[in-house]
Structures are given as structure tokens and as C-alpha cells.
Structure 1
Amino acid sequence: MLGGVRPPIASLVVLLLVVAALTVIGLEGIHTGGVPQAVLDGEQRIAADTAVSMRTAIEAEAGTVRRKTHAYQATSTSTPTTTLKALTSGRKAFLGRALLDARTGKLLATGGRTVPLAGVDVARTASGHGEIPPRLVTSGGTRHMLYFARVTLPAQDDPDQDQYQAQNGTERQWLLVVSEALPALAAYGDGRTAQALDASGTVLATAVRGKASPAAAHSGLSAAATRAANGSRSDTDASGSLLGAATGSRRTVAGWAQVASTTGPGTTDDLGLVVLTSRTVPVTTTAADYSRFALEAAGALAVVALLLGLALYFSVQQPLLRLYLSAGRLARGATGDGPAASEELSRPVPVHGFGELARIGRALDSLRRQLLGESGPQEFPARRGPGYRALAVVCLVVVACWSVPMVFLLNRADTATAVPAPVLADQQARTEIATHRIRQSLDQSYTDLSDAAASLAGRSRDAQTEVLRQSLADHRQYRSLYLLDRSGGITLRVGGTPLRTLVHVPRGGGITTVNTSGRIPAIAAYAQVRAVKGKAPAAGVVLFGEIDVKALNSTLPRPKLGSVWVTDGHDRVLAASVGYRAFQSLPESGLTRLVRTTQGAPGTPGTATSAVHDTSSGPSVDAAAPLAQSGPTARLGWHVVTAEPAAALQIPAVQAEQRTMLAGILGLAVAAACLGWLHVVVVRPLRAVAVLVERLAGGDRRTVLHPVNHDEIGSVTRGLELVRQTLAEQDRAARSGHAAAPPRSLRENTLQR
């Protein structure tokens, strides 16, 4: 079905015309006016990243309250006051706290400010077995977050001992409710405003960075963002972008995102919170138009396609079809009888085309004369001119003259100016948000470990082992928990085998690395275990918790942020969103230089920075930021580095380069495929047939000609085999002593004449 000379030639023309059409469609679809789409997409992703940070903070706080309650060892003599104090001591974030009877809703104990419980059905809230999600409530015109946790106490034998014991049941259950302010909202990137909105569009919190003003609430963007969030379905990413009013040469762009889980049911889904970010960006006044270039390039390729089609039609297809008819006529004349066969052989074989077809035509005419007895075998010169293989190469070179400039020369994006400044600033802002998210994770690990270390003081070894096992079960980010004595030896361990190679007993607490080599970087949180007077000394003085690097790696990826790396103070990779080796250098030297530019004066944390680097795969939008300016990771000198290929962003200049290159590659691929097809089914068989027919005309009667394909060349081969058999019979007759005579039909025709 794919044989013959027609399909590859027709496919070449049609597919090149398709590539020309795709060139017009692809390049005309690039819009460069006003605000680039990459800027809108960047603002949407910044809002989504900010929403993720807020959701993480809410979920972490809810989890801390639940774990604190779960770890509390209540006794039958526990009172509401002592229980509330034990559950909420040491937490400065609580505005108010209350302990209620889970069945009756009776207030048992309070602390701090009054907890706004209006509208909270305590019995219904405490019922069930799942986690109680936090709620957003209003008190005195201010919105608060309420976090809940169940407190289960053992039953008492004597109900008179505790007036708060349930009248019917075997155990007491209380409900802990704590009130907190909304998690702190941060704006990232100079000139950006971030706002937290409730389901009605009311602004709950605002953060401003640099020279920016919270104008979004007055421009209708907050209402538009709330409507879009409320109308979004659960199967969407619950984020989007908006365009605000224009002021002079600048225009407001905004992004919104729901503070809800996009991967499944979460504790923040029912809060109705929406994050809105906005800033003003310069409006592009000089729009590049690629329509004319697209039409010119497509027109040139269409002309090339038609010219190649005509050239192949007149130089290959038509001569081959004529040769096919001539070979059939010669075969009929060699095997037939009567005047018709004589007439077939009496007509000379015309020589069409050049190269192999011309050689075959001349050899066929020689065979015709040999059949008539007019001549003997004829030798053909071994030196031959260019053939159809050279024609195929010339055709490929003609298409390459169009494709190669498209791939390497035309519409090349300038690395220094292709990426708009707002897109570069967005990459830097998203990198800062990534550092905040990683810092959140590490700080939470340190807080959890500090709580575990505090509960170890003054307890027996068995009790400490149970505490560590429970902590390991509650905090999945740890792979191993162990206690060190003053000499650095491990005295108690739960979980996996420690990866540490550095033996040291640090003071205080924080985050550190405990190895400098190996396949896996060992990042660990550590905290001191205090001694208690009057009790046996603790089994260890420092509690270490090695953080599973997979848990840290899972916090790094974000859509369109690119590759993300966490590096130590020597610019070696500790964690990454892509495959890496422990303690290896960053993959590009430009990234290492970028990290070093973030470093400020000695003793200062440095500032975030960004740049566009030219890599082997094209321009890359890169940014780096110090991991922390305060907290347990501040003195480590760690950085977060991101690199996103510009081709992945909707930047007009990069899109034009990418689509131009794609058109050139497609054109070259189509030409190579179709001309290769032509070479396989036409050129190569023609070369083989030309050699065989010249040998046959030179006297070789032994080589049997087998047709390989069922096409024109196969028919020519079958005809030549019939001619070979006829000539072989003549040669055998001559060797047996009889005169070589032409076919009977020819003798009769000669006698008649």
C-alpha cells in the first residue's frame, strides 16, 4: 500500500503545506500587546503560593493543638483548670482558651481573652471520630480562628469526687477551644499587596511590600476575586488572575487563590478564605507583530513544496511510468506471437530522465535489439553520472535552506531583553515564598522536637522511649530520633539508623546537618533535655531528630517554579525537587554566582536576587534567596535556588523563537522522512535494477531477476525476467549447434516483408 512512486512525492508536498499552515497558525497566535500573559500567570501563581503558606500555617496550628491534647496524660483527679493550664502553657499565640463539657457545652475553665463561642454547637462539634476542622468567627468586629481538640479523661469510681463528671457514661470528654488571630500574611516582591478575604469579600488582613498601596479593595478586584473563587468547581485549581484599572502607563494585575486543599478534603476547605495579591506593572506599548513573518515564511515553504513536487513529478514519476510501459511492451514482444509482438519489438525504447532511468532505458533498447538478433551483448561504461540519489539529496538541501535559518537564525530571543522585568521579579518573589514554606517546615520540625525534649525531662528510660516512639508516629517528617550524652554517644534511639557522621554535642537548639558525605544529606533538628532536680539524670542531654529528606523534597515543587534546590553554606545541594546527588554543586555555574550575590555584609543574611541566564537549552529565569533571617535556621547560611526555563513561560519573544524553531524542525523532518521513503521504495530499487539490466544486456543470462515490490519497479523487474528467459533460450539454442533465430513471429514478419 505504501509502495510506488506516487505516495512519497504526494506526501512530501502535502506535509510541507501542512507545516506552512502550522507556521501561520502558531506565530499568528502570539500576542504581545498590553500585559503579557506570563505576567498574569505569575501573579496567579504567587497568590496560589501565598495561599499554600497560609493553609500550611493553619493546618500546622490545628495539628499542634490536637497533638498537645493527645499527648496530655489525664488522670481521674485532673480538674478543668489544671488541664487547661497544662494544654496551653507556653503558647503565646493563643488569644483566648476555653475548656467545655463535650456533652452539655458547659464552660468549665477559661484563660486569656473571651473565646467567641456564639453559634458553636459544642455537642455537635465534639461528636464524631474525625478531626474537628478550625472555624473562622467574628468577635467585636475582628475575625478569629478557632481550633478544637477533644480531651478524654478516665472515668471515676466516685461521682462525688468530681462535679464535672458525666452523669451517664464511662468516661469524661471535654472540648478544648483556643482562639487565635489569622496567620500572619506576608507580601512578597516590591510593590505588591496581599490580602486575605472571607467568603463575602471582606478584607480580613492586608500586607504591603515596598511602595504599594492596598488599592485592590477599592478597585473591585476583591469582589471579583471572591465571585470567581465561589464559582470555581472542586475539580479546578481554585486560582486565577484578574486585570485591574490602568493608571497612565501602568496597570494593576491581580491573582487570587482559595486557602483550600486542591488534592482532596482538608481542614481549611470550609473556611472560605481567599488570598488576593496585586501590583501595578508597566503596559507594553511596542507590540511585536509576527503575522507578516509567518505569512512570508509559510509562503516560501509553500513555493518550495510546489517546486519540489513538480521537479519530482517530471524527473522521477513521469519517466518511471514511461519506463514501466516500455518494459511491459518489451516483455510482451519477447513472449508473444504474431504481428502484435513483432510490432512491440520493432519500436525503439525511448530513453527518459537521467541517471538510473536513463541507464535502464538504454539497456532495454539494447535488449530489444538482441531479441531481434540485430546485435549481440553490449558493455556499458562503469563510470556513471549523478543519479536520483543525488536528486533526493538536492531536494533535502533545498528544504534545509528554509528550515536551518528557522531553527538557528530567525526570531532568536535576546537573553538580556526577552524576559520582561515583571516576570523576573515574579520568579524572585516565588522563590522568597518557597523559602518561607521550607522555613515553616523546618521551624515546625524544631518546635515539635522541642516539645518532645521538654516531655523527656525527669522521666524514666522506658517512659522516654515511649515518648520518642509516639513522637515518631505523630511526626512523619522524622526518620530517626535519638538522645546523645555529653560525649556524643547515642544512648537511646527509635526509628531508622542515624545517618550522622559528625559527633558533636551542640548547645541550645536549632537545625543543622550531621553529615558531610554519603548518598543522603542528614538534616536534623536538635533540642536540649533539661535536668530536673531531685530526679535521676536524663539518659541524654540533647535530643536529635533526623528529618527525612524526602519529606523536605516534597515541599519544594510548585507549578511553573522550575527546579528548586536547597543549598548549604558552601553552595552544596541538601535537597531538591529534581534528582540530585548529596552535597553536589549546583548544575550551572550561573546559579552558584547568583547564590553568592545574595550574600550581604558579614553577619547579615543577605537579600533575594534574580537573573536571566543563557543555558544550553535556552534562557533560564533564575532566582536565589537566603533561607532564613531569624529562627533556628538563620545562622546556617542556607539558600533556596530556583531555575525555570523561559520556554515554559508564556513570554512572546521566547514563544516566537520556540515556534519558529519547531516549524523549521518539522519541515526538515518531513522532508527527510518523505525523501527517505522515496529513496527506499524508488531510488534504491532503481539502482539495483539498473545494475542488473546492464549486466543482462552485457550477456549475463544466469542472474535471475526477482521482483521485490509490487509497484512500478517490480513490474519492470518481472518484464526483465521474461526477457532474460527468452534470451537464455536463444543462447542455449546457439550452443546446441542451431542458428540463433529470433522468435517465430519475427521470422514470419520478416518473410512477409
Structure 2
Amino acid sequence: MSLLVIAALVVVALGRIHAEQVPQAVLDGERQIATDTAELERIAIDAEATSIGRTAAAYTPTTPSTPATTLKGLTSGRRAVLGSALLDPLTGEPLAADGRPVSLTGVDVVAMMSGHAAIRPRLMPSGNGCCLLYFAKIMLPAQSADAAADRIGSSSPTERRRLLVISENLPGLTAYGDGRTAELLGAAGGVLVTTARGTVAPTAADRGLPAAATHAAYAQRHRSDASGRMLGATTGGRRTVAGWAQVASATGPGYTDDLGLLVLTSRTVPARTASVDYSGFGLTAAAALAGITLLLGLVLWFCVQRPLLGLRLSARRLVRGATGSGADTWVELVRPVHVSGFGEPARIGRALESLRQQLAGASGPQGPSVRHRPGCRALALVAVVLLGGWALPMIFLLNRVDPATSAPASVVADQQARTEIAADRVRQYLDQSYTGLREVAGSLSGRSPAAQTELLLRVLADHKQYRSLYVLSRSGGITLRVGARPLRSMIHLPDGSGICTVNTSGRIPAIAAYVPVPGIDGGAPTAGAVLLGELDVNTLNSALSRPRLGRVWLTGAGDRVLASTVGYRAYQALPEPGLTRLVRAARGAPGTAGTATSAVHASFAGLSVDAAAPLPRSGPTVSLPWHVVTAEGTAARRLPAVQAEHRTALAGILGITAGVVCLGWLHALVIRPLRTVALRCERLAEGDRRTVLYPVNHDEVGSLTRSLELIRQALVEGGRAGGSSPTATPSPSRSRPENAPQR
């Protein structure tokens, strides 16, 4: 019955595989690319808002200071500022302004300053587009403002609050993957930023995608991480696929949650025209399994079950003839035992016939016993071979996917694009770590050692990516440290600033950002001290992780692993040679960053779509020969050919497993007890009267064993009586009663 159920499952599982015009894996990939791109936008906006807030909190005005000099001191280090203003929190009037005029339409400055939480950025029209307004609260000494205002709107008579407003363009949007368009949409569905990579030919039929994405996002407005996928028009055998995602935090309240920004990515892919149907194969495989099941059932019925039922009846008849009384009991011993089947049932039948003759009066064993012939175990072995002949091709041969064609080119391209995004995210993570260190490095000069320690402790609490902050003197000694003990400190000071690996071996890679700090050497003025921020490798590992990207590694010099989303050992080689070859193919000529590459590889774990992308060389990562490598198994993608392969193999595994379990159960409960009964029955027929036969099973075999024990007892009683027959009736060769039937 279980094999028939598996046959039905084969029909259902394979019959439900259908090939759409655009594979589901392509749609899922576009959705993930839109989500990853939106995540980069969110991180960029959050980082800028956080940086402005930290700059405002750490600002120390010079004496004397005016609103104009304060505003200049707060914005002088920022290159992307379009306009800025310093506002009075009581009236909302600008005290100082610089650059383009800052539009504050609809902004309630008084309400903003009344709260204690950080102020979220606002999206404002600017010319033909939009800009972002960043806000930060500033506490200034009272002597830097007029004396009359010192006593109004401040928490302390020696402080005065101000509101800093900075206007900047929207973060740059990048389109990842050739032929892809990326758009940043506003809350009303308008396109704010558009970028494309490679040759893109937009069609008029796809102009409604932004409106459709905005409508879909509005339907999921209660979700902060809403995303989706869409299909566009078909033109010339190609169809547009699109993905959208909100620029919002998925882990909790964030700076971008109220902006209503949406990322829309799209590109054209080949549209499938040929249909793929596996229902015919499923019906054929199920019919073959059902035929094997029926054949095995008939063989077991005619060779084991039916003969066993006949033997049980024959044994009961012999018991009645051996233990009964009356003139008719001898008739039960006259009729010979029918020997049918082969193997153990045939052996038991021959032994019962010998016992019948002995009960009827014959002396000694009658006829030789033949034991060395194929038995029921041979039937079980044949059944295993038949099931294996069906299951093994299903597991290893049928519906196999060629590695070269296992994944469509568009799926491979999506993996490469997502790997580029992952590399950009790592670059963003390292850049933020470096920027945070650079901001604090300039504030260390001129402070006492206690003030320096307090500042570094505050930075360590704000920047979760650091595990340790320390100042390295020109001689290589640590003069100031907060946080955990460094994994390994540098002996020689590095030149300039950037990101580096402090160690080259060990269990944990030590990666640090470093910035020169002139004037710091144990509190004494000097030149050449360096502030290092050792990065927590766990936060770097989490920066690599993205849904449905598979296994991700970050490799450094020599293609050695620095971080990964799976278990790894620092500075070990990549787990598969194909991944190492991809990294080398992505490596460019000396002095260049290289280009991303991808391929489909076969390994012991199965087929996987792999890609490698170099880290963008800009800012602190300009000299890093690092790469991001990803590997996603095709089993995780909804591809018809891959689904058919795995469901076919699963059906074979279930078939062989169910067959082995059923035959094992048959061997344990029927064949092995039957062999034991056959052996004991033959020994009893050969004259063994001492071995007591205990019934163990409560089935036909147990019933047969109980009958044999009664026959043994009858033979023993007959032997004690000194007669050749245990019964009181005459043997068939003697005179019969008058009413005895004639043969």
C-alpha cells in the first residue's frame, strides 16, 4: 500500500511542475535585487543622518562665536551640502544660512525641538527634483548668543539650543547588472532618480510600472520591509521583469521610515515559448512502480501467504487426527498433506507429510528433507532488486540537469548582480567605520587623557562595529585603549589612513580602520600617533548576510577568507576550487579593481550558482584586494528542471526506502519465523521429540507452531505407550470399520 501511495505522489508532484513564460527564480531574483538596492539607499541615508547628529553633538564652538561661524564649523567638512541653516527653536527663524536657500515648508521647528528623540530627515522639493533635509539639535554656550535669549528655551542658564538644517541631494542610486534600470520613487509615485547600466531600451508599455509599484507598496504600507515583483510588457520575444522595495528599516524604527521612498528595478529577459510538462513522465514512473507492486504482491500471495494458510489447515487436521477419539479420527491421517509453493512452505509441507505418515503408524522418518534450496529470502532479494531497478534510475539517471543549462543566464546574472551589491555593502560598512574614526580623531588633540578616554568610550558605545579603540604611538606602543584587548597590535605605524588587516594568521582576523592623530602620544604633543578602531568580525559577518544569497565569503590577500556567513577558519582557502577560480577571474590587472564574474559549478553538495565581485576601490578601500564570493545552490531556486530533478530523486528515495522497510518488516515477522518453523518441523519429522516448540507470533506462523507442538506431544505419548501410532484407531492398512468409506 505504501508503494502505491508513493506512486500517486509521483503523479501529483511531477504533474504540478510547469514552466512559466518567465521562471519564478528570475522574478524572485529581481525582487531581491530591488530589496538589496533599497537597503543600500537606507544605509546611506541613515549614515548621513547619524553623522550629522554626531557632528552636532561633538561640536565645540570657538570663542568668540557667531551663528555664521558656528554654521560654517558644522558644515565645512561636508562636500555634498546644497544649503544649510541655523534656526532659532522658538521662532523657527534662520540665524545663519549658507548655500542654497533651505525650504522649510510644512516643517514645525518648535515641535521638532520639543521632543527628545532624533529628528528624522524630510523630503523636500528642490528645483526640478527633490532633496533631503537633515536635522540636528545643537547646544551652544550662552555667551555665544545674546543674553536675553539665554534664559528662554534652554534647559540650563548657561546653554542655548539651536536647530541645524542641512540640505543634500538624494544618495546616488546604482543599477547593478547589465541592462538593468534602477529608479527611486517618491511617495506619490514620481520618479526622483533614474539610472541605468548597459544598453536599456524602455518601452511605452512599461511606463506604468512606477505607478503599479507605488500602488502595490501602498497596499503593504503597514509593513516596513514591503517588497514585490511584477511582470511588464513582452516585446520581440523578451519580457520586462521588475522588482520594488521600500527604503525603510526592517528591524525597527529608522530615519527613512517616513520618507515614503521606493526603489524600482527592471530589465528584460528572454520569454519562454516552449512548454515543459513532466506529467507524462510522472504517469509512466507511477505505472511502473504500481506494476512492480502488483507483481510483488501476487508473488508473495502465491508463494508465501496462500501455501502458509494451507499448511496451517493441514497441521490442524493432523492434530485432530492425532489427539481425537472416535472411529472417524483416522480419516484425518489418511489424506496426504498437499505440498505447494517453494522454499520454507514446501519444506514444512514435506515435513508435515512425514509426520502424518508417522502418526498413521509408519516407523521412523519418511523421506529425506531437502533444505538447501532457494527460500523466501530469495523472494525478498528479488523484490529488492526489482525496486532498486525502479528507484536507482530515478535517483541517479532520470531527469538529470546539465550543469551548463541548469540555471538560465538571467538567474546567473542576478547572482552576479547581488554579489556586486554585497561587495558595495561591505565597502559601505568599511567606509562608515573609517568615517566615524576620522571624525573622532580630530577631537582628540588638545584634550586631557581622561577626556580622551571619555570621548573614545562614547564613540565605542555609538559605533557597534568596533570591538576596540586604541592609540598607537610612534614607537609602536599603545598609549590609550578602550574596549576589548586588541587581537594583535601593529609594531610599525601604517602610513596615511584607511583599512588594513593587522594580523595574517590566527583564529580570528584582525581588521582595523586607522587614522593619523597628530599631537597625541600619551598626552604629550608629538607627530605620528595613529588611532585604530579594530572591527568586530561578527558585525562584518552580518553585513555579508542577505536573504537567498546563499553562502557568502569575504576574501583578502591571497584569496584567504576574512569573514563569512557560514562556519570558517580565519585565513583559510575557499572551500571549493571553483570559487577560487572565480576570484582570480574577477581580479583585474595591477592597479585596477577588476570586474564581477559568475558561473554554475557542480560539487559534492550539488549544483550551485556562484559569483565573485571585487570590493569597489574608493575611499578607505582603494588599496584593498578584497573580494566578495557567493554560492547559492540551485535547489533553493524555483527552476522547473531543478524541481523535476529533485522530485524525481525524492520519489526514488522514498520508493526504495518504503520497499526496504516493508520487506524488512516481512523478513522479521514472516520469513525469519517461517524459516525457524521449517527447521523445527524437519527436526521433528526426523525424530527430535525433546525440543519443545513455543509459539511466539500471533499469526499463521504462530498457529502452525502450536499445531506442531501438539503433534510432538502426540508422538511422545505414542512412543510411551509402546505403539507405533499415538491414536487408538487402526492404521489405513488394517481392517476398517463397516461404515468406513472406500477409497
Which TM-score band applies after superposition, normalised by the shorter structure? over 0.9
Which consecutive residues of structure 1, in runs of 5 or more, have no partner in the other structure? 1-13
Q: For residue 29 of structure 1, what is the aligned residue in structure 2? A: 16
Please state if 1:742 is matched with 2:726.
yes
Given candidates 649, 660, 663, the residue that maps to 1:661 is: 649
Distance in 2 (alpha carbons) for counterparts of 1:106 and 1:694: 113
Q: Render the CA deviation track for 1:429-486: whole Å, top value 9, x for unaligned.
A: 1100000111100100000111121111222222211111111111010111111111
Matches within 5 A, 1:333-482: 333-338=321-326, 341-377=329-365, 380-381=368-369, 383-482=371-470
Distance in 2 (alpha carbons) for counterparts of 1:327 and 1:106: 112
The answer on whether the counterparts of 2:206 and 2:232 sit within 8 Å (CA) in structure 1 is no
Q: For residue 121 of structure 1, what is the aligned residue in structure 2? A: 108
Q: For residue 637 of structure 1, what is the aligned residue in structure 2? A: 625
Q: Between 103-112 and 303-312, report the one with greater CA deviation.
A: 103-112
1:699 maps to a residue whose letter is: G
Please state if 1:508 is matched with 2:496.
yes
2:15 maps to a residue whose letter is: E
Matches within 5 A, 1:15-164: 15-73=2-60, 80-152=67-139, 161=147, 163=149
Matched residue SS, 1:688: helix
Given candidates 528, 539, 546, the residue that maps to 2:516 is: 528
Matched residue SS, 2:338: coil
Once the two structures are TM-superposed, the CA of residue 729 in structure 1 deviates from its matched residue by 2.7
The answer on whether the counterparts of 2:303 and 2:341 sit within 8 Å (CA) in structure 1 is yes
Distance in 2 (alpha carbons) for counterparts of 1:316 and 1:746: 35
Q: For residue 638 of structure 2, what is the aligned residue in structure 1? A: 650
Distance in 2 (alpha carbons) for counterparts of 1:16 and 1:266: 55
Q: For residue 166 of structure 1, what is the aligned residue in structure 2? A: 152
Which consecutive residues of structure 2, in runs of 5 or more, have no partner in the other structure? none
Q: Between 685-694 and 432-441, report the one with greater CA deviation.
A: 685-694
2:135 maps to a residue whose letter is: F
Given candidates 713, 718, 729, the residue that maps to 1:725 is: 713
Matched residue SS, 2:659: helix
Once the two structures are TM-superposed, the CA of residue 244 in structure 1 deviates from its matched residue by 0.8
1:743 maps to a residue whose letter is: T
Distance in 2 (alpha carbons) for counterparts of 1:210 and 1:116: 36
Q: For residue 233 of structure 2, what is the aligned residue in structure 1? A: 245
Q: Aligned pair count?
A: 734
Matches within 5 A, 1:257-276: 257-276=245-264
Distance in 1 (alpha carbons) for counterparts of 2:331 and 2:251: 84
The answer on whether the counterparts of 2:247 and 2:260 sit within 8 Å (CA) in structure 1 is yes
Q: Give aligned-pair identity as a percent.
A: 62
2:34 maps to a residue whose letter is: A
The answer on whether the counterparts of 1:219 and 1:244 sit within 8 Å (CA) in structure 2 is no
Seen in structure 2, the aligned counterparts of structure 1 residues 142 and 367 have a Cα distance that, compared at 3 Å, is: same
Structure of greater relative contact order (alpha carbons < 8 Å, 6+ residues apart): 1
Matched residue SS, 2:557: coil
The answer on whether the counterparts of 1:26 and 1:659 sit within 8 Å (CA) in structure 2 is yes
Once the two structures are TM-superposed, the CA of residue 601 in structure 1 deviates from its matched residue by 1.8
Distance in 1 (alpha carbons) for counterparts of 2:467 and 2:315: 81
The answer on whether the counterparts of 2:46 and 2:255 sit within 8 Å (CA) in structure 1 is yes
Once the two structures are TM-superposed, the CA of residue 715 in structure 1 deviates from its matched residue by 1.7
Once the two structures are TM-superposed, the CA of residue 317 in structure 1 deviates from its matched residue by 2.0
The answer on whether the counterparts of 1:75 and 1:153 sit within 8 Å (CA) in structure 2 is no
Once the two structures are TM-superposed, the CA of residue 107 in structure 1 deviates from its matched residue by 3.1
The answer on whether the counterparts of 1:256 and 1:275 sit within 8 Å (CA) in structure 2 is yes
Matches within 5 A, 1:7-22: 14-22=1-9
Distance in 2 (alpha carbons) for counterparts of 1:699 and 1:233: 89
Seen in structure 2, the aligned counterparts of structure 1 residues 128 and 576 have a Cα distance that, compared at 3 Å, is: same
Q: TM-score when scaled to structure 1?
A: 0.92
Seen in structure 2, the aligned counterparts of structure 1 residues 159 and 479 have a Cα distance that, compared at 3 Å, is: closer
Please state if 1:671 is matched with 2:655.
no
2:713 maps to a residue whose letter is: Q
Once the two structures are TM-superposed, the CA of residue 531 in structure 1 deviates from its matched residue by 3.0
The answer on whether the counterparts of 2:90 and 2:153 sit within 8 Å (CA) in structure 1 is no
Distance in 2 (alpha carbons) for counterparts of 1:611 and 1:495: 43
Once the two structures are TM-superposed, the CA of residue 143 in structure 1 deviates from its matched residue by 1.5
Matched residue SS, 1:635: coil
1:592 maps to a residue whose letter is: T
Once the two structures are TM-superposed, the CA of residue 365 in structure 1 deviates from its matched residue by 2.2
Seen in structure 2, the aligned counterparts of structure 1 residues 619 and 641 have a Cα distance that, compared at 3 Å, is: same
1:589 maps to a residue whose letter is: P
- When the two chains are superposed, the root-mean-square deviation of aligned CA atoms in Å is 2.7
Distance in 2 (alpha carbons) for counterparts of 1:130 and 1:320: 85
Distance in 2 (alpha carbons) for counterparts of 1:76 and 1:603: 47
Matched residue SS, 2:619: coil
Once the two structures are TM-superposed, the CA of residue 34 in structure 1 deviates from its matched residue by 2.1
Distance in 2 (alpha carbons) for counterparts of 1:58 and 1:605: 26
Q: For residue 5 of structure 1, what is the aligned residue in structure 2? A: none
Distance in 2 (alpha carbons) for counterparts of 1:322 and 1:269: 81
Q: Between 239-248 and 262-271, report the one with greater CA deviation.
A: 262-271
Q: For residue 690 of structure 2, what is the aligned residue in structure 1? A: 702
Once the two structures are TM-superposed, the CA of residue 587 in structure 1 deviates from its matched residue by 0.6
Q: Render the CA deviation track for 1:168-223: whole Å, top value 9, x for unaligned.
A: 85464333322221111000001100001112211010111011145589521111
Seen in structure 2, the aligned counterparts of structure 1 residues 358 and 594 have a Cα distance that, compared at 3 Å, is: same
Seen in structure 2, the aligned counterparts of structure 1 residues 348 and 197 have a Cα distance that, compared at 3 Å, is: same
Seen in structure 2, the aligned counterparts of structure 1 residues 583 and 253 have a Cα distance that, compared at 3 Å, is: same
Matched residue SS, 1:69: helix
2:727 maps to a residue whose letter is: P
Distance in 2 (alpha carbons) for counterparts of 1:549 and 1:347: 88
Once the two structures are TM-superposed, the CA of residue 494 in structure 1 deviates from its matched residue by 1.0
Please state if 1:497 is matched with 2:481.
no
Matches within 5 A, 1:157-306: 161=147, 163=149, 165-166=151-152, 170=156, 172-213=160-201, 215=203, 219-232=207-220, 234=222, 238-306=226-294
Distance in 1 (alpha carbons) for counterparts of 2:146 and 2:194: 52
Distance in 1 (alpha carbons) for counterparts of 2:525 and 2:367: 109
Please state if 1:323 is matched with 2:307.
no
Q: For residue 591 of structure 2, what is the aligned residue in structure 1? A: 603
Q: For residue 668 of structure 2, what is the aligned residue in structure 1? A: 680
Distance in 2 (alpha carbons) for counterparts of 1:235 and 1:177: 29
Seen in structure 2, the aligned counterparts of structure 1 residues 342 and 64 have a Cα distance that, compared at 3 Å, is: farther
